[in-house]
Amino acid sequence: MSLTLLDVLSGFLMTLIMHDSYGYDINGLKRYALNRFLRLYPIYWAIAILSIITVVLVTSEYSRAYKNVLYIPNTIKDVIYNTTMIFPSLFSWNVEPRLSPPTWAITVELFFYISIAFGISKNKKRTLLWVGLSIIYYIASYVIELNGSHRYGSIFAASLPFSVGALLFFYKKEFLSIAQKLQLSSPIIILFIYLINAVIFMLHDHFMPFSFSIYLNEIGKYSNILLSLFVVTSLFYRGEEVFPKKLDSLIGDYSYPIYLGHWQCGLIASYILYDAPTIGMSIEGMAVFLLALLLVFFISFILINLVDKNISLIRNKIKEQKVS
C-alpha cells in the first residue's frame, strides 16, 4: 500500500519539477538526470557496500535464509543489475540477487522518471491519455483474467498511480476544491484515514475468508490510490504545516537510507541476538525489530552526514539554475 502513495507522489513531484525547475530542453533533461542520479545512487552504493560486508561476515547461507534475494552477485550481469538498480523484468521483484531487497521498486521508479522526462506528462492532453491507457490496462487485466501480481508490482501496474499523480499537477485547484467539500483537506485527518486504510488492507488476509479477501484486496488498491491523491493534495496545497520544517527535512533525509537498508539491519540484528534468522510476530522478532531500528537510524545518520550532505550541496546548485 505504501508503494502506491510513493508512486502517486513521485508522479506528481517529477511532473512538478520538470515544469517548474528543469524544463524539457536538452539542458533541462541533463540537469534533471544528474539530480536524480545524485539523489539515488551515492547513498545506494554505500549501502550496497555495507550489504556485501554484512553477507561476507554472516555467510551467504545465513543471509539467504533471512531474505532469499539478499546475497552477493556472482555474474557480470548480476553486478550490472545491482550497480544500476535496474532489474530488467516486467516483475523486477523476481530478479535476484539484490543487495538491497527493496530496489526492485527503484527499477519501476526509474522507468517512469525517464518517461516523465521525455514528456509523457508534458501537458494535460498527454497526461489524460496516459491515465486513460493505464485504466485500460487494469480493465484488460481483469478481462483476460491476469492474476493480481499484474496489478501490483509490475511496471505497467505502477502506471496508474504515477499517471494520476502527474494529473494532479494540472488539476490541483479542482482536486483541492473536491477535498475541501468532502472535509478531506486537512493533512492530519487525511493522513490518519490513509494509515487506517493501509492497516486494514495489510491485515485483512488474517481476518477475512480467502474468497472475500481477494475482492477486498482489489478494492484496497483503488481506495489507496484515491486516498493518496488526497494526501498529496493536502500536503502541497492546503497551505498549513503538518510537521515543523526541521522535522520534515529530517524525515526526507532519513526515508531513503532507511528504505534501502532496513532488511540488512534486520539481518545484522538477528545474527547478533540469536545467531539464527529470526523474522515474524514473536518476542524474538520484536527484539530483532527494535535493534534493527536502532541500527538503521545509526547507519542512516552516518551516511547522511558523510555522503548525502555533500551531495546535496551539488544538487541544490543544479536545482537553482533557471529553466531556459
Q: What is the pLDDT of residue 129?
A: 97
Q: What is the pLDDT of residue 187?
A: 66
How far apart are the C-alpha atoms of 172 and 188, rounded to whole Å? 19
**SS3 letters for the chain?**
CHHHHHHHHHHHHHHHHHHHHHCCCHHHHHHHHHHHHHHHHHHHHHHHHHHHHHHHHHCHHHHHHHCCCCCCCCCHHHHHHHHHCCCCCCCHHHCCCCCCHHHHHHHHHHHHHHHHHCCCCCCHHHHHHHHHHHHHHHHHHHHCCCCHHHHCCCCCCCHHHHHHHHHHHHCHHHHHHHHHHCCCCCHHHHHHHHHHHHHHHHHHHHHCCHHHHHHHHHHHHHHHHHHHHHHHHHHHHCCCCCCCHHHHHHHHHHHHHHHHHHHHHHHHHHHHHHCCCCCCCCHHHHHHHHHHHHHHHHHHHHHHHHHHHHHHHHHHHHHHCCCC
- Cβ atoms of 201 and 220 closer than 8 Å: yes
- Cβ atoms of 239 and 180 closer than 8 Å: no
Give, for all 324 residues of the chain, the pLDDT tens digit.
446 778 999 999 999 999 988 999 999 999 999 999 999 999 999 999 999 999 999 999 999 999 999 999 999 999 999 999 999 998 999 999 999 999 999 999 999 999 999 999 999 999 999 999 999 999 998 899 888 778 777 889 899 999 999 999 999 888 877 777 776 666 677 777 767 766 666 655 545 544 445 566 677 677 788 888 888 887 776 655 556 677 767 878 899 999 999 999 999 999 999 877 877 778 888 998 999 999 999 999 999 999 888 888 888 777 776 554
pLDDT in tens, 263-277: 999 999 999 998 778
The label of the residue with cell 545506494 reads 44
Residue (of 105, 291, 142, 282) closest to 222 by Cα position: 142
- Quickly count: other Cβ atoms within 10 Å of residue 241's Cβ: 11
- Quickly count: other Cβ atoms within 10 Å of residue 53's Cβ: 11
User: Which pTM was predicted?
Assistant: 0.85
Please calculate the CA angle 230-234-236 and round it to the nearest 5 degrees.
Answer: 120
- Cβ atoms of 72 and 52 closer than 8 Å: yes
- Cβ atoms of 2 and 258 closer than 8 Å: no
Q: What is the pLDDT of residue 223?
A: 78
Q: Which burial class, exposed, middle or buried, applies to 206 when counting CB atoms under 10 A from its CB (0-12, 13-18, 19+)?
A: exposed
Length of the chain counted residue by residue: 324
- Quickly count: other Cβ atoms within 10 Å of residue 248's Cβ: 13
Q: What is the pLDDT of residue 240?
A: 55
- Cβ atoms of 202 and 255 closer than 8 Å: no
